[in-house]
Amino acid sequence: MTLHREGKNIMLWSLIFTILLSGIIHYFLSACCPIVYWILQIGFLVLLGLVVQFFRVPNRTCKGVSNDIMCPADGKVVVIEETTESEYFKDRRIQISIFMSPLNVHANYHPIKGIVKYIKYHPGLFLVAWHPKSSTDNERSTVVVEHESGKEVLFRQVAGAVARRICFYPTEGQFVEMGSEFGFIKFGSRIDLYLPLGTKIDVAIGDVVKAKLTRIGELN
């Protein structure tokens, strides 16, 4: 396991803040109120641990092959439906949404390999990730990758009520490998996938999924 580069400043300042507070509490409480002192010290260490674990990146090998569509993020499947994708395709697609809680790994990965055809960042609101309008009104990024078969898959990072920064790394025209990192969402949110109609789907609503390990479906 490694720690993600997007968390470098946050983890550094969290460590400094924890050390300063620990020193202040030690000076004022260690002698007169030892029980309160230890409760606070343990509490600060737990909070620091939560910040650090949020930016963890497990060492995983992508298990996908050929036409597989691999899961781009850790979380739970909350939406599987046919809908109209209005930004890029402007036609009917299968939408699969994966909700990431603050305890999930928040690095995001390309679900297929191919050429990046489209990228766009949208500033926006910070509605809760399960709100019906979060996909269109929240801060979000859209990436479209064309598979070697010619079929295109759109995946969208959607910020939630807690998330305040979306990071994404690919550029248009770039060739990307399945399972390579494409972005990071700070402090919880959602990933939407838009797949061609007729795509074989291997997950169900409520499934707990893992990035690079869970197969979402297969391009026909």
Question: Which one, of 132, 142, 83, 78, lies nearest residue 108 by Cα?
Answer: 142
Q: Band of the pLDDT at 51, cuts 50, 70, 90?
A: confident
Residues 84 and 119 in one domain: yes
Which pLDDT score is estimated for 16? Answer: 92
Which pLDDT score is estimated for 72? Answer: 95
Question: Which one, of 204, 48, 182, 169, lies nearest residue 106 by Cα?
Answer: 182
Contacts with 106 (C-beta within 8 Å, 6 or more apart), sequence order = 4, 54, 55, 73, 74, 100, 184, 185, 186, 187, 188
Q: Band of the pLDDT at 188, cuts 50, 70, 90?
A: low
Q: Is residue 46 part of a domain?
A: yes
| Residue 97 annotated to the active site | no
Range 5-30 average pLDDT: 86
Residue type, 187: F
Reduce the DSSP state of residue 168 to 3 states and report it: strand
Residues 12 and 104 in one domain: no
Residues 98 and 148 in one domain: yes
Residues 116 and 35 in one domain: no
CB-facing half-sphere around the CA of 55: CA atoms within 13 A: 16
How far, CA to CA in Å, does 22 sit from each of 54, 189, 200? 22, 32, 54
Reduce the DSSP state of residue 44 to 3 states and report it: helix
Per cent of the chain over pLDDT 90 is 52
User: b/e map of 138-159 (b: 16 or more CB within 10 Å)?
Assistant: bbbbbbbbebeeebbbbbbbbb
Q: Is residue 63 part of a domain?
A: no
Q: Band of the pLDDT at 199, cuts 50, 70, 90?
A: very high
Residues 129 and 50 in one domain: no
Residue 130 pLDDT > 80: no
According to the per-residue pLDDT averaged within each range, which of 26-30, 102-106, 208-212 is highest?
208-212
Pairwise pLDDT comparison (31 vs 197), residue with the higher score = 197
Q: Is the pTM of this model over 0.95?
A: no
Domain containing 12: what range? 2-57
Residues 75 and 184 in one domain: yes
Residues 109 and 201 in one domain: yes
Range 100-110 average pLDDT: 88
> How many domains in the chain?
2
Q: Is residue 62 part of a domain?
A: no
Residues 203 and 126 in one domain: yes
79-92 confidence digits (pLDDT tens): 999 999 999 999 99
